Amino acid sequence: MRHWMMLAAVLLPGMASASGHELSLGGNLFSSSGLSLALPHRPGLEAAYAYETGGWRLGGGIRWNFSPVGGNPPLEVYARAQLTAEMGVWRPAVGPELGLSGLRVVAEPNPGFPPDYPEVRANRFGLVYAAIHAAPLRFAFGRFTASALELQWGTLLTPRPGSLMRLQLGLLQVGVML
């Protein structure tokens, strides 16, 4: 019995340093588009939780958009799984994200578009989306993490998969390991 306790005492600190819980806050820009790359954008905030263990980050969070559009709550709730690498202080991460979105970003009609353009566009938005989330400029300094220029690219899954593209740029995300 004593040998098992000694083995646990040796292994547990190493396991604790290899895994951790992270809470983070950040700012982002959100855009959606059909065929055009002239994307309307809305700034927002993000609060996230991640559990990191052995090359994986599993977690989720909530995003809040500053400008409510169309009567829906300007919120998103998501879950994500990312592969990570550890190279000194550099900790890039990439992986899929699945979420529910109340964000409806519709540009004002330009001259030449029909007057019902915003309404027709808004009807193409659904609640469920899937995306790839990449954090190539993510760094860890002791218990603190910082990430800049994160990119999320995906599509809405409802009402018609692939009918609208999602694009989000994470400006800055700052976190702390608990």
Domain boundaries, the chain: 20-177
114: phi then psi, degrees, rounded to nearest 5: -65, 155
Is the pLDDT confidence value at 14 over 60? no
Average pLDDT over residues 59-63: 96
Name which of 23-32, 41-50, 98-107, 153-162 the model is least confident about. 98-107
Q: What pLDDT sits at residue 31?
A: 66
pLDDT bracket for residue 68 (50, 70, 90): low
Q: What pLDDT sits at residue 39?
A: 47
Is the pLDDT confidence value at 162 over 50? yes
Q: What pLDDT sits at residue 32?
A: 59
pLDDT, one tens digit per residue, over 89-115 is 999 999 999 999 887 656 566 677 787
Interatomic CA distance for residues 105 and 44, integer angstroms: 12
CATH class label, 20-177: mainly beta
Name which of 35-39, 127-131, 134-138 the model is least confident about. 35-39
Q: What pLDDT sits at residue 42?
A: 73
The string of DSSP codes covering the chain is -HHHHHHHHHHHHHHHHHEEEEEEEEEEEEEEESS-S---EEEEEEEEEEEEETTEEEEEEEEEESS--TTS--EEEEEEEEEE--BTTB--EEEEEEEEE-----PPPPTTS-TTHHHHHHTT--SEEEEEEEETEEEEETTEEEEEEEEEEEEE-SSSTTSSEEEEEEEEEEEEE-
Interatomic CA distance for residues 60 and 48, integer angstroms: 6
Q: Name residue, tokens 């588009």.
A: 33
Is the pLDDT confidence value at 49 over 60? yes
